[in-house]
Structure 1
Amino acid sequence: MAEPGAAGGSPEPPVQVSIIVPVHNSECWLDECLKSVWEQDFKGTMELSIFNDASKDGSAEIIEKWKTKLEEVGVPVIIGNNDSSQPRGVGFAKNQAVIQSSGTYLCFLDSDDVMMPQRVRLQHEVAIQHPNSIVGCQVRREPLDSTERYTRWINNLTQEQLLTQGVPEDLLFFYEHLQKGGEVFRVNHCLLLYRYHPQAATHSVLEGTIWHHRVRFLEDRVLSSWTSFTIWNAGKQGKKLYRSLSPANQKKVSAFCDVDEKKITKGFYTYEESEERPKPKIPVCHFRDASPPFVICVKLDLTGGAFETNLDMLNLKEGMDYYHFN
């Protein structure tokens, strides 16, 4: 048999897109997931890179079945395995699938999710137009009534809000990408069915861990360029954010603001846990009397539009005059 590129032979075309799929005990979803790879309408060169992380169910058999079907239609399948008794985790499995892949672009697909047939084609088109960018898409949830507010929020973020509000699950990867000057774009079509269930890897990440990294990112990316700011929420979330800030950034907090007259009437928030003497006392005022910039700790789409109306009346610019931390 001739070597690639040798006389009488032709080199294999480079792989344009590698679909990266980490797998652990995914037999109840994996058929539909891999079928969605098989159904892609992308006409370029594509491969499936899948890493089976110590599955004890029938995932391996399903992978082998779809390897045959995919390679029949010209999609190479690379399979890696962790054969130990203990899984190494979804991050490890993703990294191993990336290492063994050869595509110019990586398309991440969780084993419990399903791609629409046009996903790879449309996201690849945008990726070519916007080098050094993470390219996302709109999604729909299954069950349909799960995380309705969250799904509505992520599907309606503007291009600018992808940077000022978008907080994905792969938090550290996303933050590192932005810190290195990368960009974020979204294909405004629903290209992914995202399942919500108790076994999802999302639930394995501690809320405190996510909070810690979000605060550090806020301090590095936003607060480092502000000399003072107001925390919009004098309640539990606003005070939690204040307590989580570094001492230097705590000193930048000029006030809390709110609409709750009970909180405003108190006049001050005293930071009892502070080792400073006297203990810091931060004024609490009505939002109309507060000075921007704001760090907003109010969840969107929960007040029947009242909060959004209050914010709009101030005619502020997101990313400059305020930043959502909710």
Structure 2
Amino acid sequence: MCTSIAFWDRGLFGRNLDLEYHFGEQVVITPRDHAFIFHHRAPLAHHHALIGTASVAQNTALYAEAANEKGLYMAGLYFPGNAHYFADPAPDVLNLAPYELIPLVLGSCATAAEARSLLAGVRLVAQPFAPGYPLAALHWQVAGPDGSFIMEPREDGLHFYDDTVGVLTNNPPYPYQRMNLNNYRGLSPRTPDNTFAPGLDLPVYGQGLGGLGLPGDASPMSRFVKAAFLRQNAVFPDERPAQVTQFFHLLDAVSMVRGSVITPEGRCDETTYACCIDTREGVYYYHTYDSGCLHAVRLTEETATGTALRCVPLADKSQFVFDTPQ
């Protein structure tokens, strides 16, 4: 389970990674000359530099989400029971394994429009990275300076949807998530008028009454509604650091608290990490569940150059800043 949020007009993109286990995640920069290798097409020897969270295997970054130096973002989110990958490659199309999508799209494209054009010819093949590696059932949010779209792999091929909401979670498929927002069209950040019974004295007893009915549970549809409401109504300050902080407030509002969601295997599904990628400044911000403070990794010209992956392990210890009384 996960939640991804995109502000293409602000160049801020990010997600909560909700999972009951760790997968060797770390912040990874793939420089321009680190070759991307594919099963069914020629390698991409030179490409845009990427930064995001990934596990690394066989000198390959397996990204959960990333952004490139041009400002394009892509995140894969769990889509069980609905994601469909074809058993075999087909001729005359671009056959890709699911894990190859982020490297190819972010390595090749600078805008959402370019990415959508490239993906229109893709056939996703049920091919894991290597024997023993899971084949995750995913759908994707792709966003850049020119907007955002959702891509879902179904039995009849890839489906593309304009993402005017700027939010993606998990099941059900995106059209149902989008349609469900109609059930909440009466909500507002403002105190509502008494339309229940105008002649009845119903005094306002506190702030926030306009949001009564906004879901608060951790299910995918509820997180979609709550994230959409907050994203559409969030007020951003002018200062860039404060904008990043505001972005994390949105993610924290739909995060999973350890112990509140138990999987069928008896494990805690929790927000392993939350991230915000500032594509204008080239900075990847994150916090993990146990390290609540914000950490930052910058994509610089130096780190974008060369062939070697640049890796930063995620902080996983609680950290505090102690202020000294005056």
- Which structure has the bigger radius of gyration? 1
Query: Which bin holds the TM-score, normalised by the shorter protein?
Result: under 0.3
* Higher relative contact order, structure no. (Cα contacts within 8 Å, ≥ 6 residues apart): 2
- Greater share of helix residues, 1 or 2? 1
Greater share of strand: 2
TM-score by length of 1: 0.21
- Taking structure 2 as the reference length, the TM-score comes to 0.21
